[in-house]
Structure 1
Amino acid sequence: MNLETQRLILRPWRTEDAPSLYRYASDARVGPCAGWPPHTSVENSRQIIETILSAPGTYAIVLKETNEPVGSAGLMIGEASRLTRSSQEAEIGYWIGVPYWGQGLVPEAVAALIRYAKEDLHLSTLWCGYFDGNEKSRRVQEKCGFVYDHSRTGMTCQIEGMRLTEHISKMSLENSGAVISEN
């Protein structure tokens, strides 16, 4: 299933997206602030598409203008998430390539996921986290209406030997009449 916004198509990742994924995920400014190592080759990116990004609810953030995937956003429901407490809750995760930072594309993608979670999946709560120092991610969460809930220190991530402080925010979707903006 695809989700569309004014400027984006959120669609499942395809193995042929590996060169675009590598172009953006190999930048050392992207992965480490999200807790994963930079991609090392197009083949590495292809393997990540096949093993990680193929998970249900994980989408390539594709620019309508160019039809190129430039980032990723996902909705991990229930036990698929490390933050949720029930099957009626989900975690949202996201990242985007450096050339697209500051253009409002991630809040636009997250808003589409929030609408989908509320209107189609009828979930009760969404969770979202960011690691200490990732101010861009914190700002996305604030802009999209998430509210700080708690922090966890010493969290392991996909980078061997690295432990980080994670700040967790949440959004209640029950009885929420909020209109979610794409901008």
Structure 2
Amino acid sequence: MNSERLLFRHYAATDFEDYFKLVSNADVMKMVTGKPDLELDARKRLQKMLKINQEYPKIGNFKISLKLDSDFVGHAKLVMTKKNEAEIGYLLMPEHWGKGYGSEIAEALVNLAKQVDEIQSLMANIAPENIASKRILEKQGFVWDYDGEYIGLPAAYYKMKL
């Protein structure tokens, strides 16, 4: 899967360095878990993502790079959450914020989801104060569903029927 400016590929075990650079960044993780990941936690999560990618080869967790120069941009996911529902998500390195990559990633994930028969709806959760992600989701057709929690932090949940 690719978009206009970005390359998407399933993670490999050799991608740990880039993945850890992303999830150990306090600015990136501020809106996700509230704190940067420790190395051991990041290693465990990458292993879990690799297993998900094997189980669901059409969708999963993707390393995102620029087509232009292969620079690491971030992470994207399209993963099953329950029967007929998948979750989208994305994280970008701070140097790539504000360039429209979040919108490009979200659009590519929605388009991919539409190609998978088992997926009838999408969900996403974001920090309520993350206005940029709120705009991205709404632009793709997501609507606010409810406010709740994600790993003990406030979260706004969005849904989209396909």
- Give me the TM-score of the superposition, normalised by structure 2: 0.83
Where in structure 2 are the equivalents of 1:11-160 lying within 5 Å? Answer: 11-35=9-33, 37-41=35-39, 45-52=42-49, 54-56=51-53, 57-79=60-82, 87-121=83-117, 123-152=119-148, 155-157=149-151
* 8 Å Cα contact 1:35/1:131 also seen in 2: no
Q: Separation in 2 of the partners of 1:77 and 1:47?
A: 19
* 8 Å Cα contact 1:125/1:171 also seen in 2: yes
- Relative distance call for 1:167 and 1:63 in structure 2 (3 A) is same
- Relative distance call for 1:37 and 1:9 in structure 2 (3 A) is same
Deviations 1:20-64 (A, max 9, x none): 2233322211113112641345x7644432234652311111211
> What is the Cα deviation at residue 122 of structure 1?
5.4
Counterpart position of 1:83: none
1:168 and 2:123 correspond: no
Amino acid of the structure 2 residue aligned with 1:75: L
Identical amino acids, percent of aligned pairs = 29
* 8 Å Cα contact 1:13/1:54 also seen in 2: no
- Relative distance call for 1:164 and 1:45 in structure 2 (3 A) is closer
Deviations 1:57-81 (A, max 9, x none): 11111211222332111112143xx
Q: Secondary structure at the match of 1:60?
A: strand
Cα root mean square deviation, aligned: 2.2
Q: Secondary structure at the match of 1:33?
A: coil
- Name which of 6, 16, 19 aligns with 2:4: 6
> What is the Cα deviation at residue 156 of structure 1?
4.7
